[in-house]
Amino acid sequence: MFDKEIAIKAGGYNIKTVGEDMELVVRMRRYMIEAKQKYKVTYIPNPVCWTQAPTSFGGLRKQRSRWTRGTMETLWLHRKMLFNPRYKILGLLSVPFWFVFEYLAPIIEFTGLLITAILAIFGIISWKFFLLLLLFVYFFAIMFSVLALLTEEYTYHQYHKFSDINKLLLGIIIEPFYFHPFTVYAAFVGNIQKIGRRKSWGEMTRAGFDKEKEDKILLKPS
C-alpha cells in the first residue's frame, strides 16, 4: 500500500519499466530522503489480499525473467544511490545488497556452473573436493532455510498442522535441485532479453479461481 500523495509527488508509476511497482517504491524512498522528510516502510506479516501465482513453469519463467529485467531497469534508473552516503542505509546497504545478491548472484552462479561443466569435460576437476564443497553448500542452504522457517513459525505461528510444516521441510530439502536452478535459468534469460532490448511486459495467463469450489466453501454450514 502506498501513500497516494507521496506516490504522486514522486512521479507515479514509470510506464517505461516492467517492474513499475518495485521502481516506484525505490523512487518514493529516494524522494523522501532528497526532500529531507521522515518516512517509514512497515511490514505486515498477515496478508490482507490474494494474488494469483503462475500455474505453469512457462508462466513462472516469464515472471522471473521479467523480474530480472525490472531489477536491471530500477538499479540503472537509481544508480546514483549505489554506495552513496547521502541515501544512508538505502544507499550504503539496501541498494548494494540488491545489486549483488539479487542481480549479480544468478549471473555469477550460472557462470560458475558453466565453468564447472567445462572443467569436468576436460577432466581437470577434483571430484573429491567438488563433492565436499557441494555437500557443504547444500547443507548450508538447508540450514538457513530451516532456520528461517522455524523463526517465522515461532514468531507468527501461521501453520497449525504438523503436516504443513512437514511439507515445507520437504520443499526446503528438494528446492536446491529443481526450483533454484530454474530461477537461475530464468534470471539468465531475463539478462539476455534485456540485452536484446526487450521491453514488453509479457503475457501471464490467469486461470482464475474455481468459482464452483468457492461457492461450496461459502455455503458449507459451520
Q: Considering its fold, how many domains does the chain have in total?
A: 1
Question: In angstroms, what CA-CA distances link 163 with 167, 168, 169, 180, 184?
Answer: 6, 9, 10, 23, 29
- Whether 71 is covered by a domain: the verdict is yes
Is it the case that residue 93 has pLDDT exceeding 60?
Answer: yes
In a domain, 44, yes or no: yes
Long-range interactions of 121-127: CB distance < 8 A, separation 24+: none
30 within some domain: yes
Q: Is position 210 within any domain? A: no
pTM over 0.75: yes
- Tens of pLDDT along 145-204? 999 999 988 888 888 888 999 999 999 999 999 899 999 999 999 999 998 877 666 666
| Residue 160 domain flag | yes
Q: Is residue 218 part of a domain?
A: no
Is residue 215 situated within a structural domain? no
Range of the domain at 33: 4-203
Is 74 within the bounds of a domain? yes
CA-to-CA distance for 36 and 48, rounded, in angstroms?
31
Average pLDDT over residues 76-101: 96
